[in-house]
Structure 1
Amino acid sequence: MSSSLISPSELDYIIRGVDDNLRADGRGRLDYREVILETGLIFQANGSARCRLSKGTDVLVGVKVEIGSIEIDGTDEEVAAVKAKRGRVVCNVECSPIASQQFAGRGADDINNELTQLVDRVLNGPQGGLNLEKLCIIPGEECWVVYIDALVLDYGGNILDLIFMTIRAALYNTRVPKTVIEEDKEVEISDDVEEWERIEGWELVPISITLNKIGTRHIVDATVLEELATKAKLSVMVNKNGKICGIQKIGGGSIEHGLLNEMMQTGRSIGQNLILNLDKMLQKEDEINAERAKNDKIGFFAAA
């Protein structure tokens, strides 16, 4: 977003607040807003989750697994041999026009494509976490294809971080059916839901920590106004073990070498702690869902 959309007085107020470690909503530079999490919302999906940042950004993710053909592109024999034994992850991110005015019109396609490509690059990359080899059913022929669809329902800043958090929660909620290969290479899918399992490696799926350079300092979990005051962004992809799995610079501004190292280490530390809290929330959500399943749902019948 263009900084021309913010007045000089607002810009000065934000910069001074960041310098004093006291932002407009009372948070410090490295404080996140409250994350509200729900799982198992879409019954037709193999897994789903919804995350909200307080009263700000709201993201819904559905995961669907289907048997598909193994795609081998390119002429490199070594690459082809690896792909012949791996499943696939297909990502799609869509920002709803009702979430923000910037998601309406032609500009929305560019935003959607940029976010989709970034998510796809991380999850299909070597540090994506998911064990794609375990998703292979018949080498060179069939595999599980994991379709991940993210929908941004509301926007209040820090969209990329929340997308990755919600994807990780949805993958935790995802179960893949057990398959048996017959002698004629026919694939039989188990109907017993109790035998379905999580995708191996989901716990190593990284999340994003986006650090916004405002003035000479940086903050995390920026609001819309703070993003307008941002000169440059650095998104650090971090997994559960604190390993940096990728870095993406966003925006045209520069980041000094010393500040870059500091931002990377900040992202790594915050990311590891955030995943720890996220996993605790997921376990608690499992307990809540199990309790809900025991109780009768409250509803009504429409009168004739």
Structure 2
Amino acid sequence: MPYLSQAERDYITEGVQSDLRADGRGRLDYRALVLETGIISQANGSARVRLGDGTDVLVGVKVEIDQVEPDADNVGKVVCNVECSPSASQQFEGHGADDLNNELTQALQRVLGGPQCGINFEKLCIIKGQQCWIVYIDAMILDYSGNVLDTIFMATKAALFNTRIPKTQIQDLGDGEFEFEVLDDVEDAERLDGIENIPIGVTLNKIGTGHIIDASPLEELCTEAKLTIAVNKDSQICGIQKGAEGGIEPGLMSEMIQTAKRIGQSLIQQLDQKLQDEEQQVDEKRLNGENIEKLGFFAMV
């Protein structure tokens, strides 16, 4: 971890109070965001998102058929996993990396593993009491320059938007017996039901008596406490997680939550528009018989 002198801490803290950060942003400004979807051919959906000049996350989504859970025999499920590349940052090396992987995985799983994620889990059930689709979300942090959890959420939302699930054909054999066939035709594959309701995370860092979004690594070192608030397109809160050791006064916490709801809704609108535009461009190229080339990086939001 980089060392920060007291003078540097004071400079960052006073900048937050004055609504002017070291990189010229205001307290509630995100850095530039770039993304591209559909870049992993072997996956059912994928996306890569870069925030600012460093934080870089790749997400792949795979769907597989498995047995339903005994206590939830009419729904499928989402399973999340986050891995930090050791080359991305010194803090991703050694034993601490496992703890960070677990922390980020649990944060993503808590939001996307339940009904608050917006996905219709009943539509993931193929045959009640027997088989269902399991959606595996694997995120890899390739590079780091702060605010990694928000980037993971945005990359995951983009990858799920890009995900298609093969269509199944079910045959009733009688006497309560069924069998199904997975159709191979890519054109028959379906989008996840409820994709438009999937939330993103907005992390707010308390520095001094103020708070910021999209903290840089040095700003994260000055953070006394932080809140990550998962918000959907309707500004509904889908999860809250507190980090760092400091406390947050009730009045400031209420202000931070309202800020996250407002910014989250705006960010989702921009992200959804970019994803729709990109999909339309791909569809037009396919219709015109043009070559569709995914570079991995990037198209501007």
Report if TM-score (shorter chain) is over 0.5.
yes
2:42 corresponding residue in structure 1: 44
1:143 corresponding residue in structure 2: 132
Which one of 126, 129, 153 corresponds to residue 142 of structure 2? Answer: 153
Contact 2:46 2:163 in 1 (8 A): yes
SS in 2 for 1:183: strand
CA distance in 2, matches of 1:297, 1:162: 26
1:250 corresponding residue in structure 2: 243
Which one of 219, 227, 232 corresponds to residue 239 of structure 1? Answer: 232
Q: 5 Å matches for 1:83-232?
A: 83-184=72-173, 185-232=178-225
Task: Classify 1:142/1:267 alpha carbon distance in 2 versus 1 (closer, same or farther; 3 Å).
Answer: same
CA distance in 2, matches of 1:40, 1:290: 13
SS in 2 for 1:267: helix
SS in 2 for 1:92: strand
1:297, distance to aligned residue in structure 2 (A): 6.9
1:291, distance to aligned residue in structure 2 (A): 5.0
Contact 2:235 2:261 in 1 (8 A): yes
Q: 5 Å matches for 1:5-24?
A: 5-24=3-22
SS in 1 for 2:116: coil
1:183, distance to aligned residue in structure 2 (A): 2.8
1:199, distance to aligned residue in structure 2 (A): 0.5
CA distance in 2, matches of 1:296, 1:205: 31
Q: 5 Å matches for 1:254-293?
A: 254-290=247-283, 293=286
SS in 1 for 2:91: helix
Count of residues paired in the alignment: 287
CA distance in 1, matches of 2:168, 2:290: 32
Matched, 1:61 2:56: no
The letter of the residue matching 2:182 is I
CA distance in 2, matches of 1:164, 1:29: 21
CA distance in 1, matches of 2:9, 2:58: 32
2:299 corresponding residue in structure 1: none
1:139, distance to aligned residue in structure 2 (A): 1.1
Moved segments of 4+, more than 4 Å: none
1:47, distance to aligned residue in structure 2 (A): 0.4
SS in 2 for 1:127: helix
* Structure 1 or 2: more strand by fraction: 2
Unaligned runs of 5+ in 2: 294-301
Matched, 1:33 2:28: no
1:290, distance to aligned residue in structure 2 (A): 3.3
CA distance in 1, matches of 2:106, 2:219: 25
| 1:6-65 deviation per Cα after TM superposition (whole angstroms, max 9, x unaligned) | 111110110011111010111000000111010000000000001101212000000011
Worse-matched range after superposition: 257-266 or 124-133: 124-133
1:190, distance to aligned residue in structure 2 (A): 1.1
CA distance in 2, matches of 1:118, 1:19: 29
The letter of the residue matching 1:221 is D
Unaligned runs of 5+ in 1: 73-79, 299-304
TM-score, with length taken from structure 2: 0.92
The letter of the residue matching 1:201 is G
TM-score, with length taken from structure 1: 0.91
CA distance in 1, matches of 2:292, 2:42: 18
CA distance in 2, matches of 1:291, 1:100: 40
1:117, distance to aligned residue in structure 2 (A): 1.1
CA distance in 1, matches of 2:36, 2:97: 27
1:77 corresponding residue in structure 2: none
CA distance in 1, matches of 2:226, 2:285: 41
